[in-house]
Amino acid sequence: MGLLALTACTASEPAPAPSRTPPVFENEEQALAAVTETYQEFLDISNTILVEGGVDVDRINAIVGGQLVDAEHENLTELSTQGLSLTGAPTLVSMQLQEWYPQPDAAGVIALARACMDLTAVQVLDGDGNSVVETDRPSTRTWSIAIGPGNEGQQRFVLTSRDFLSEGSSCEN
């Protein structure tokens, strides 16, 4: 009876880990939602850093990965080093998913998209508070973006590339 009591209290061996990693996305809708959410978070963090004068740029590391980190640090400090400040925020107008993969590719990319931003509300001001934005500045800019898994232990996606594509009066460029 004592042996039976001991075996009843002993935990069973844990199940072995699955031999295959489950897919990151099951379908296109999941991939588009992830890209949109990741890029919107990038916009929110980067805009906060810019509005606050380019301080604590390391905050962008939470949403940017790979070689993009150094480029974004440089971009985020550029305004303050020129004595400029930012007001307003860009608006994500549209996101068009270009490609998505159920697993990261060799470069760690799981989705590629085109993001169109409306810059109408964004002003860049000099030290006297005067706008330095050209009056004929195009109202939209379109970027090619890619996301991938975050660093090990991170339960989020990160922006892995962001390349300027075009600008114009609409997202139809």
pLDDT for 32-47, tens place per residue? 999 999 999 999 999 9
pLDDT for 118-160, tens place per residue? 999 999 999 899 999 999 999 999 999 999 988 766 668 999 9
Residues 8-31, buried b or exposed e (16+ Cβ, 10 A)? eeeeeeeeeeeeeeeebbeeeeeb
Whose CA is closest to 145, among 42, 49, 57?
Answer: 42
Q: Is it the case that residue 2 has pLDDT exceeding 50?
A: no
pLDDT of residue 106: 83
Q: What are phi and psi of 21, to 5 degrees?
A: -75, 135
Amino acid found at 81: T
Model-level pTM? 0.82
Residue-averaged pLDDT of the chain: 85
Which structural domains are found in the chain, ordered by start? 25-168 (3.10.450)
Highest mean pLDDT among 64-68, 115-119, 125-129: 115-119
pLDDT of residue 1: 47
Collapsing DSSP to helix, strand or coil, 164 comes out as strand
CA–CA gap between residue 139 and residue 50 (Å, rounded): 19
Residue 108 binned pLDDT confidence (cut-offs 50, 70, 90): confident
Other C-beta atoms closer than 10 Å to the C-beta of 97 total 17
Q: Is it the case that residue 57 has pLDDT exceeding 60?
A: yes
Distance of CA 69 to the CA centre of its chain: 11
